[in-house]
């Protein structure tokens, strides 16, 4: 049984989401990702304005299972489409068309293909959203003014406080040693407002 993750809070009582570190360029952030990976962290991510070649390996990310899910659902949909057409042609509403046998499969190919494509497309979209935990209407990193530059020319690594190895000071030291130009704690939520005094 895994040990319970410790909850960190700032001095004003806000829950800590994690640590956000900025790096000067893609090369430094890639090497920093390797150091974070080798340190054993599991709940963290790299943010960049463009794809960085080799970052998946630097982060130690396993291959996604989304293609297997998409292939399974797409082929299942195509098979169901074919079986349904065959049933309609032979049992449900058997009709002779152009003198061909009721179960002639050649006429079923276009619809089978289209249903397979439809199932594949929706599975790819919905599976991607599910695997990435989306939609998420609010993300703590978006409250940091510095982080908004990730869409332009900034590079970041964020390590979540939910990570079993997370400890603010050692995590900060690791990121600084890896070349971070700035490191800051990110709050997940603000503390509740004090109740108004009764008069």
Annotated domain spans of the chain: 16-30+45-61+138-161+168-187, 66-131
How far, in Å, CA of 99 to CA of 177, rounded? 78
What values do phi and psi take at 191, rounded to 5?
-65, 155
17-58 per-position pLDDT tens digit? 999 999 999 999 999 999 999 999 999 999 999 999 999 999
Distance from the first to the final alpha carbon of the chain = 51
Full-model pTM? 0.76
CB 138 within 8 A of CB 187: no
CB 154 within 8 A of CB 24: no
Report the chain's mean pLDDT, rounded to a whole number.
90
Nearest alpha carbon to residue 36 among 183, 187, 185, 157 = 157
CB 34 within 8 A of CB 179: no
- pLDDT bin (cut points 50, 70, 90) of residue 189 is low
């Amino acid at each position: 049984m895994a040990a319970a993750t410790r909850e960190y809070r700032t001095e004003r009582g806000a829950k800590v989401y994690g640590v956000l570190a900025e790096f000067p360029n893609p090369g430094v952030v890639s090497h920093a990702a390797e150091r974070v990976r080798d340190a054993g962290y599991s709940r963290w991510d790299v943010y960049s304005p463009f794809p960085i070649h080799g970052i998946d390996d630097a982060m130690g990310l396993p291959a996604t299972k989304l293609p297997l899910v998409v292939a399974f659902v797409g082929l299942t949909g195509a098979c169901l489409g074919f079986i349904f057409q065959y049933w309609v042609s032979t049992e449900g509403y058997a009709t002779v068309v152009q003198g061909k046998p009721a179960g002639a499969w050649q006429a079923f190919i276009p619809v089978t293909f289209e249903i397979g494509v439809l199932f594949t497309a929706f599975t790819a979209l919905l599976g991607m959203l599910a695997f990435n935990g989306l939609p998420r209407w609010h993300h703590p990193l978006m409250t940091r003014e510095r982080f908004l530059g990730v869409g332009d020319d900034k590079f970041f690594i964020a390590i979540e406080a939910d990570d079993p190895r997370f400890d603010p000071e050692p995590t900060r030291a690791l990121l600084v040693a890896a070349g971070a130009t700035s490191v800051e704690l990110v709050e997940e939520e603000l503390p509740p407002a004090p109740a108004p005094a009764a008069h």
